[in-house]
Amino acid sequence: MSYSTTVDHEEHHDHPSGMLRWLTTTNHKDIGTMYLTFSLIMFMVGGAMIMAVRAELFQPGLQLMHPEFYNQLIGVHALVMIFAALMPAATGFANWMLPLQIGAPDMALPRLNNWGFWLLPPAAILLTLPFTLALFGIGDGAIATGWTFYAPLSVQGGIGVDFAIFAVHLLGISSVMGSINIIVTIFNMRAPGMTLMKLPLFAWGWLITAFLLIATIPVLAGAVTMLLTDRHFGTHFFDAAGGGDPILFQHLFWFFGHPEVYILLLPVWGFIPQILSTFARKPIYGYKAQVYSLCAIGVLSVVVWAHHFFTAGMPVPALLYFMYSTMAISLPLAVLFYCWIATIWRGSMTFETPMLFAIGWIILFGIGGLTGLVLADVAADAQYHHTYFVVAHFHYTLFAGGIMGIMAGVYYWLPKMTGHMYNEKLGKLHFWLTAISFNLTFIPQFFLGLAGMPRRIPDYALQFSEFNMISSIAAFTLGLTQLLFVYNIVSCVRGGKKATDKVWEGSNGLEWTLPSPPPYHTFNEQPVIR
Amino acid sequence: MEKISAIASLSQLNRQLGYKLLVIVAMALAFAYGLVPLYDVLCRVTGLNGKTENVAVSAQSRVDATRWVEVSFTSNVMPGLAWSFHPVQSSIRVHPGKIETVTFIARNMANETVAGQAVPSVSPGKASEYFKKIECFCFQRQDLKAGESREMPLRFYVSPDIPDDVKALTLSYAFYSAIK
Ligand code: HEM
Ligand SMILES: [Cu+2]
């Protein structure tokens, strides 16, 4: 493939400067930067919350906080990490890189794009404000139901639930806007000659994510709206006394919730192969197989939701159906794993930070997927459901599979975005400390779960003490390590060794044909792909 | 000039596709609300969730005296209702088809009149469609004055069509404070 690229010289439009620039910008790079910055801040906020939780779990008994406050922390931690850290990070990359990768001058609907971002900070404030209000004696704190909002607890909860419902509305509208924008951009704005089967995998991953989002976020919005009217306007969707059904909430929530876990990962599955191929100096293996697998996972993800509540009571045929359909997802996932490994197989690999993260990611995310298979077994899940085994499973998928994948992307593209190289030594240190302390945090939790320690409880039986202490110490290390990440990013934005246009020896793709950093406006003349 | 009109028509195309995608969003929202009745129908048809028809059925005479089914009763009072509520006998052995009467006792411990609504559920779920109520306090809300206690009868039979392998079933009542 050869690219003919025309880069316009930096045009000096009179865009506003200072705060007004960021408030009104419709430039995809500005908006991408805002998403990524917001995500990093919220990652640290959500992390701080869970440090307090691990401190409470350091020893058995209740030392630091009331159980109510503990429950608020775990729920808001999860909501922040999922909706305000992981999702915005993926959207940030989409904004920055999709137009560059497909040779478009900008996103298709720039003003929608600006709105999509600026709904996020108010949503984050809504989520966390009840903590502060409680200090002034207003209400009883943030949402204390866990991130899943299960009725009837969420029908009975305090004002924190209402705040969280409105936050979810805003976050949902923001995601839907972002998704529509991405779909339109990919369909309408590709450079001439870039057919769908020549799209970078990152664009494919995002395309499927975006379709999943517009099909499932409205279901979540509907579910929490029913919750809101149950709480305040006399409906009883989830109230058995009025003829409703609390289990209905679980169906609605997980109809969104399971696709959501793939929404969080598909963009990562998209760009990791690009990183692997760059540092193995080999083309991506099995492009078509990967595209079809991504699509298959997207479709399957909408029909397996009830595996999250096998224990709530279901007829046997339903149990069997949800078990087998869930397990079926691991087939296309296995194809992806195969392709990732084949991509680096016998490559001339070098291990810069992005590659370290990408390889660590394959292994750790693999553990997440395998333990998911264990949970999908109905008979086994009766024992593991709602224990720390589940907590460990979804952290291998979401922290390793999600956040560590995002970190790989950050190190990979940071030189392109800022024009400077980050500190490689510090990056590698960050990787090793993260990988080791992550495993030390969550491996003990698998065993705690197998031994029967329930999740979402601030106290535990004495025999769980040692493993919890190990897990807490490792968690503090993991938390502190992330300061290195922040420091490395900030100093890379500020300055550092000048990055070349290509940045990495083995990089290929349209974004690497542009200067580092790319000018404010790129591809006003679209490149032609042959 | 040509370039400007090309850009204008592209942004029009973009907007059109955006609106089409918005239709999917609207359909997904409608689907969420559509799931509510759909789920209810599905539960009733399959007996999923142990939902029983909350209406009276008329008696029938075929009694299968060759079989026994053990029917157990459990009772719960949900938060927000200051009542005590329990069955007089915790279980009863019945022949399918034979009409039986059992009694539950509820007592209002609040010092004001309170209305409660009982919601039944049967497990195992597949037995629920064979559990027939002829008369039940759960058909309407119950008003109890301060301190009042009431004996409430339940007349029922287990349909003789119940599968042979169901030898025991549990009827659970949850009393909620009635929706105003
Ligand atoms: C083949 C792959 C996978 C399988 C078979 C699988 C299966 C399951 C099952 C059966 C549960 C429910 C366990 C229980 O609550 O008892 C579960 C929980 C969970 N999984 Fe997975 N999973 C897989 C991959 C993933 C991925 C890729 C993610 C995220 C990106 C993920 C995120 C989660 C989360 C967040 C929960 C817990 C939700 C909660 O209760 O709060 N899983 N998984
Ligand atoms: Cu799931």
What pTM did the predictor assign? Answer: 0.88
Helix (H, G, I), strand (E, B) or coil at A529: strand
User: Which residue CA neighbors atom 21 of ligand 1 most closely?
Assistant: A372
Residues in chain A closer than 8 A to B32 (CB atoms): 218-219, 221-223, 252, 255
Instruction: Tell me the CA–centroid distance for residue A409 and ligand 1, in Å.
Output: 23
How many residue pairs from chains A and B have C-beta atoms closer than 8 A? Answer: 99
User: What number is the ipTM of this complex?
Assistant: 0.85
Contacts with A13 (C-beta within 8 Å, 6 or more apart), sequence order: none
Q: Does A222 touch chain B (CB under 8 A)?
A: yes
A313 and B21 in contact by Cβ < 8 A?
no
Range A30-513: architecture per CATH: Up-down Bundle (1.20)
| pLDDT confidence tier of residue B59, bands split at 50, 70 and 90 | low
How close is the nearest chain B Cα to the Cα of A314, in Å?
A: 7
By CB neighbour count within 10 A (0-12 exposed, 13-18 middle, 19+ buried), where does A479 fall? Answer: middle
- Which of B15, B22, B25 to probe the A interface (max A CBs under 10 A)? B25
Interchain proximity B22–A223, CB inside 8 Å? no
Q: In degrees, to the nearest 5, what angle opens at C-alpha A511 toward C-alphas A508 and A512? A: 50
Model pLDDT, residue B2: 57
Q: Which residues of B touch A176 (CB under 8 A)?
A: 25
Q: How far is B47 from chain A (nearest CA, A)?
A: 9
> Is there a contact between A184 and B10 if contact means CB atoms under 8 Å apart?
no
- In tens digits, what is the pLDDT along chain A, a chain of 530 residues? 334 444 444 444 556 777 888 888 999 999 999 999 999 999 999 999 999 999 999 999 999 999 999 999 999 999 999 999 999 999 999 999 999 999 999 999 999 999 999 999 999 999 999 999 999 988 889 999 999 999 889 998 899 999 999 999 999 999 999 999 999 999 999 999 999 999 999 999 999 999 999 999 999 999 999 999 999 998 889 987 777 888 999 999 999 999 999 999 999 999 999 999 999 999 999 999 999 999 999 999 999 999 999 999 888 888 999 999 999 999 999 999 999 999 999 999 999 999 999 999 999 999 999 999 999 999 999 999 999 999 999 999 999 999 999 999 999 999 999 999 999 999 999 999 999 999 999 999 999 999 999 999 999 999 999 999 999 999 999 999 999 999 999 999 999 999 999 999 999 889 999 999 999 988 888 888 87
Ligand nearest to the backbone CA of A390:
1
Residues in chain B within 8 Å Cβ distance of A251: 35, 39
pLDDT in tens, B126-170: 788 888 888 888 888 889 898 899 999 999 999 888 888 889 999
Residues B45, B46, B49, CA angle at the centre, nearest 5°? 115
Nearest CA in chain B to A175: B25
Is the separation of the CB atoms in A93 and A10 below 8 Å? Answer: no
The Cα A91–Cα A93 span in angstroms is 5
Strands B168-177 and B114-123: antiparallel
Token duo for residue A307: 């595996």
pLDDT tier at B56, thresholds 50, 70, 90: low
**CB contact (8 A) between residue B32 and residue A108:** no
Peptide bond into A152 cis (omega under 30): yes
Residue closest to A95 by CA, chosen among A21, A40, A6, A27 = A27
* Domain chopping of chain A, boundaries: 30-513
Q: Please indicate whether residue A264, judged by its CB atom, sits closer than 6 Å to ligand 1.
A: yes
